[in-house]
Amino acid sequence: MATATFHHGVRFRELETAIRAIVTAESAISFVVGSAPVWKVPGGTENVNKVIMCYNLAEARAALGEHDNWNIYTLMEFVQSAFVNFSSQVAPVFFVNVSDPNQGAVAVPPADFPVTNHRVTLPGVNVIFDSVAITYQDDEGEDQSPHYGTDYTMAYNAEGGLVITLLAGGELAQAATINVGFKRAVPARPTPAQIIGTYDPIEDKYTGLALIDTVFGKYRVNPNFICTPSFSAVPEVTAAVTAASYAINDVFTGKALIDADTSIVKAYRAVPDYKNQGYFNDPRQNFFWPMIRLGNQTYHPSTVWACLAMHVDATNGGIPFESPSNKVIPADGACLIDGTPVDLTLRGANYLNSQGVMTVLNFIGGWRMWGDWSAGFPGTTDPKDMWSSVKRMMDFVGNTTILTTWQFVGKPILRRLVEQITDTLQGWLNHLVVRNALLFGNIQFPRSLNPDIELIAGHITFKVNITPPTPAVDIEFLLSYDLAGLQTLFLGEAA
């Protein structure tokens, strides 16, 4: 008898657990495509068409740089909103910078610069940090290159000039002049084509928005909000962002956040016609008007909404059942892109809502986001499509189901497999009901959806029924005059 099948003694075997742990999908992760002044940071020239994950302001500025021209450097708006105005519970955020600072850069030939107080300030602005090349002559008259951090450091001053500081104890400490060559970036607003990006099968390289399909493979996080500040209303970008929201990595779903172009549509009455004339009526879109002002800065409302939704979800344990509508936002006004103030009344805001437009309102309790209707409304009144919060719960349950049950792909189709899937997901749905994130949740494996021809092809179908709560958008009280109260005038007397 073979020794592998003959046993004498005591042993044990591990059995599969009847149910599996839930792999919860992220509910409010922003994927933001735009431009950034990466030429201002060490190694920044490498951060072009690359997905950059940031958890805080320090990480964002170290990778993307800092600049106050948001028209050219469109990612700066989202960085400021997420990590300064909201500051917490809005991470991580995934950024893609599409602007290459070396493209069109002006080369400045090497020249000798005098050292004053151990410093050299390079002339002009927009010097590309990574392009700076310093040389000096050693005691033998040979050209040498100093070491950054040991012999010198560099930083931009308030005027935007790059200052080279020679460090004590370094090779340049006693230098009277140094030879420096560099490149100067030519700031330019990116094109819609750069924002949309592409996949090059020859180079096997993704750019722009197309990089969204690489996020999960690299970080194991699935983005939900697709943001293109300042570009979302461009027809080609609108179409690309919306298409991406239906099939992130071919299987996940999310929301396309679209801002109306307030340089075109300047009055709330004109917004519905603008919306209907363009491709702004898809249930996967959230559509916004007008802009939001805070101090001297102007924000696209999609940026603020995304950050607010991240914050609201975080307070609810990462479950997106609560709408960001009627939640306070960091704002002190509404305006057009040129800064023209917009005075929106409750009636005007509700009119926009009735046309599937999210907006902002300062009515009771300060400035707040207002509305939960998706861009698909009023064209669709299916609750899963008309309500943004319901749509997000559908996505959350669907994406979580994919992540949790992926481990079962390839298993033999047995009753045990069916029970593992149904028991695992039903337990989670029950938990969501207890958490008041769902009113009802149920999973079934009906025979009617699994005919023999599908089973022998390896295709099994489960039916998941859920009821996310709809937002309370119309609270009505019936107030009446009660004559019985007049009896209180006659104390002690019978009625």
Q: Model confidence at 495, in pLDDT bands (50, 70, 90)?
A: low
Q: What is the pLDDT of residues 205-224, one digit of tens each?
A: 999 999 999 999 999 999 99
Quick: pLDDT tens for 413-450: 999 999 999 999 999 999 999 999 999 999 999 999 99
The whole-number pLDDT of residue 18 equals 82
The per-residue DSSP string of 318-331 comes to T---S--TT-B-S-
At 307 the pLDDT is 97
Mean pLDDT of the chain: 95
Altogether, the residues listed in the chain come to a count of: 495
Residue 474 has pLDDT above 70, yes or no: yes
pLDDT in tens, 244-253: 999 999 999 9
Map out the domains of the chain as residue ranges. 30-99+191-389, 106-184, 415-495
Phi, psi of 134 (to 5 degrees): -110, 135
What SS3 state is found at 465? Answer: strand
- Alpha carbons 173 and 207: distance in angstroms, whole number: 43
Query: Which H or E run contains 63?
Result: helix 57-64
With a cut of 60, say whether residue 1 has pLDDT above it.
no
Confidence at residue 2, expressed as pLDDT on a 0 to 100 scale:
62
The whole-angstrom separation of Cα 32 and Cα 195 is 10
Could you tell me which of 272, 205, 286 has the C-alpha nearest to residue 242? 286
Q: What is the share, in percent, of the chain residues with pLDDT greater than 90?
A: 89
Tell me the β-bridge partners of 152: 148, 166
Inform me whether the pLDDT recorded for 147 exceeds 90. yes
Confidence of residue 199 (pLDDT cuts 50, 70, 90): very high
Q: How far apart are CA 477 and CA 474, in angstroms?
A: 10
Percent of the chain surpassing pLDDT 70? 99
Listed in sequence order, the DSSP H helices in 87-183 are none
Q: Which two tokens stand for residue 6?
A: 């003959």
User: Is the per-residue pLDDT at 354 higher than 60?
Assistant: yes
* Each residue's pLDDT tens digit, 453-470: 999 999 999 999 999 999
pLDDT at 367: 98
Would you tell me the crossing angle of helices 388-405 and 415-434 to the nearest 10 degrees?
140
User: Over the stretch 128-141, which tens digit does the pLDDT of each residue have?
Assistant: 999 999 998 877 77
Strand-strand pairing, 255-259 and 285-288: parallel
**Interatomic CA distance for residues 295 and 316, integer angstroms:** 30
Amino acid at 260: A
Q: Tell me, rounded to whole angstroms, the distance of Cα 473 from its chain centroid.
A: 26
Distance CA 110, CA 276 (A): 57
Nearest one of 315, 188, 324, 341 to 255, comparing CA atoms: 324
- Cα gap 390→393, rounded to integer Å: 5
pLDDT band at 491 (very low <50, low <70, confident <90, very high): confident
Spatial CB neighbours of 208, under 8 Å, sequence gap ≥ 6: 33, 49, 96, 98, 194, 195, 196, 197, 198
Give the residue from 90, 64, 87 showing the smallest Cα distance to 224: 90
Lowest mean pLDDT among 15-19, 38-42, 284-288, 395-399: 15-19
| CA torsion angle 278 279 283 286 (round to 10) | -70
Rg of the Cα atoms in the chain: 29
What is the pLDDT, as a whole number, of residue 327? 98
- Whether 324 contacts 388, CB under 8 Å: no
Distance in angstroms (rounded) separating the CA atoms of residues 36 and 59: 14
12-54 pLDDT, tens digit each? 888 888 888 999 999 999 999 999 999 999 999 999 999 999 9
- List, for residues 359-371, the tens digit of each pLDDT value: 999 999 999 999 9
Q: What is the CATH number of domain 30-99+191-389?
A: 3.40.50
At residue 174, does pLDDT exceed 90? no
- 0.85 cut: is pTM over it? yes
Q: 307 near 331, Cβ under 8 Å?
A: no
